[in-house]
Amino acid sequence: MSSLMKQLTRKKLPSDLTAKDLAKCLSALDLTLLGIGAIIGTGIFVLTGVAAATQAGPAVILSFVVSGIACAFAALAYAELSASVGGTGSAYGYSYAAFGEFIAWIIGWDLILEYGVSVAAVANGWSGYFNNALTAMGIGLPDFLTKGPDAGGIINIPAAAIILILMAMLIIGVKQSARLNAGMVFIKLLTITVFIGVALFHIHPANWTPFMPFGWFTTTPDGKTVGVLAGASLVFFAYVGFDAVSTAVGEAKNPQRDAPIGILASLVFCTIIYIIVSGLLTLIVSYKDLNVPSPVAHALLQIGVNWASALVATGVIAGLSTVMLVLYYALTRILFSMAGDGLLPKFFSVVNKKTHTPVKNTIVCGVVMAIMAGMVPLGVLAELVNIGTLAAFVLVCGGVIVLRKTKPNMPRPFKMPFGFVLPILGVLSCGMLILFLPMFTMMRFVVWLLVGLVIYFMYSKRNSLLAR
C-alpha cells in the first residue's frame, strides 16, 4: 500500500523540455485578449437571459458578482502559480507540483472534458446564429443540414465546419491565431458598446420590481435549483476562459510577468462588462422575456431598435468564434502537457518543426469535436463544463496553500496578498458553487471521472516519466 501511495503522490514541477519547441511569441496584451476572447461569448450573449428568466430575475447582476468574486480568488491563485510554477498544463501542471501525479491526472482528465465539450457545445450555438444570418440573406440551410440525427436532421454542417476552420488556424500558428482573436475581440466589444449606448436611452426602472423574485437559493420539487446563488452557478460558465490564459504560459515572451497580467486583466475587464450588460438588459425589458437563445438581440428587437439587434447578432457570431478558438487552443495544450509527462501517448506532444505547433494533436481534437458538434446534441453535456471548471479552481487554490507549505523558498514573482486567507476563500467559494449545481450534473461528472480512473491505472501510471 505504501508503494502505491508513493506512486500516486509522486510530484514534479512542469518541465520545459516539451515546451521548449513552442514559439515564444505572446505578449501580455496577447494573453489579455486571449482571456477576453474566451470569456466574452456564450455567457454574455446567452446565459445572461436564461439565468435572469429562470433563476435570478434582475438580481442576476448579483449572480455575476458572486461568481466574479469566486473567480477572483481563483484568478489570483492562477496568477501566482503561472508565474512561479509555469508550464503549459495550467491546473494540471500546478496539481502535479502540489498534490502529485494521481490528482494531476484527475484534474487533467477533468480539463479535457471542460474544454472539449465547451468547444462542441459553443459550435452548436454558433451554428444557429450563423444560419439565422444566412436566412436573413435568403440563403438559409435546410434543417437536415443544421441538426444532428437526434433532432431529426443528418448533420449540423455549420457547427462541424467552424471547428475545422479553427483547426486550420491553430495549425498555421499560435501568433496568427492570436491576431485573428484580437480582431474578433474588437468586433464583439464594439457590438457590446452599441448595446450599452442604445440601452441607456430605453431604461424602465419598473422592470426591476421585484428585484429578487426567486430569493437567494431554493430547490424546487423537481430537483431544479433557483435563486441568486443557483444563478451564480449557472452564469459561472460565463467566466470559463480566463484559466485558458495559463495554458499559454509556454508560449509567452515573459511568462512570469505576462501571465498574471493576462489572467487578472481579462477577468476584471469582463466582470465589469457582465455587470453593466446584465443590469441594462433587465432594465430595458422584463426578465420574464429573456429565456431565449439570443437575449441581447431579442431585447433590442423588443424596444424596436432593429439595426442594433442585427449588429449584436453579428457580434455574437464573432464572439462565439473567439470562445471556440481559445478553448480549442487550451485543449490541445493540456493534451500536449499530459503527453509530455507520459500520462497520454507521445503522439499528442509531437511539435511540427515548421509551424511550432502540435499539429497531430490539433487535428485529432478538431476531428473529434467536429463530429460531436455535427452529430450530438450537447445541451446536457455542456452542464458538465461548470462543475469541471469549479473542481479545477478548487485544486488551484488548494495548490497555492500546499506549495507555500512544502516549497516556501520557491521564487514567486507574483504572490497572492493576505497570506492564506484568499486561497482558502477560493477553495470555499468555488466548492460552495459546486453544491448549488443539480445532483444529476454531479452524477454525470462522477461517471466521467471513473472512466479516467480506468485509463490512469491501465496506461498512465505505468507510462509516466516519473515511473520510468
Lowest mean pLDDT among 329-343, 359-373, 433-447: 433-447
Give me 252's grid cell. Answer: 509567452
Give the per-residue pLDDT at 341: 86
Give the per-residue pLDDT at 87: 58
Report whether pLDDT(180) > 80: no
Q: Which residues contact 354 (CB under 8 A, 6 or more apart)?
A: none
Strand boundaries in 316-365, DSSP class E: none
Report whether pLDDT(22) > 60: no
Report whether pLDDT(79) > 90: no
Task: Tell me the average pLDDT across 10-34.
Answer: 64
Q: Which residue has the higher pLDDT, 359 or 244?
A: 359
Task: Tell me the average pLDDT across 431-457.
Answer: 85
53-76 pLDDT tens trace: 888 888 889 988 888 888 888 888
Task: Tell me the average pLDDT across 6-16.
Answer: 65
pTM of the model: 0.77
Across 311-345, b (16+ Cβ under 10 Å) vs e yields bbbbbbbbbbbbbbbbbbbbbbbbbbbbbbbbbbe
Residue 213 and residue 57 in contact, taking contact as beta carbons nearer than 8 Å: yes
Residue 245 and residue 61 in contact, taking contact as beta carbons nearer than 8 Å: no
Give the per-residue pLDDT at 456: 92
d(C-alpha 455, C-alpha 103), whole Å: 14
Task: Tell me the average pLDDT across 292-302.
Answer: 78
Give the per-residue pLDDT at 455: 93
Number of helical (H) and strand (E) elements in the chain, helices listed first: 19, 2
DSSP sequence for 342-377: TSS-GGGG---TTT-S-HHHHHHHHHHHHHHHHH--
Task: Tell me the average pLDDT across 316-334.
Answer: 83
Phi and psi at 25, nearest 5°, equal: -135, 0
Residue 265 and residue 234 in contact, taking contact as beta carbons nearer than 8 Å: no
Instruction: State which amino acid sits at residue 298.
Output: H
Report whether pLDDT(402) > 70: yes
Q: Which residue has the higher pLDDT, 360 or 121?
A: 360
Q: Which residue has the higher pLDDT, 305 or 46?
A: 305
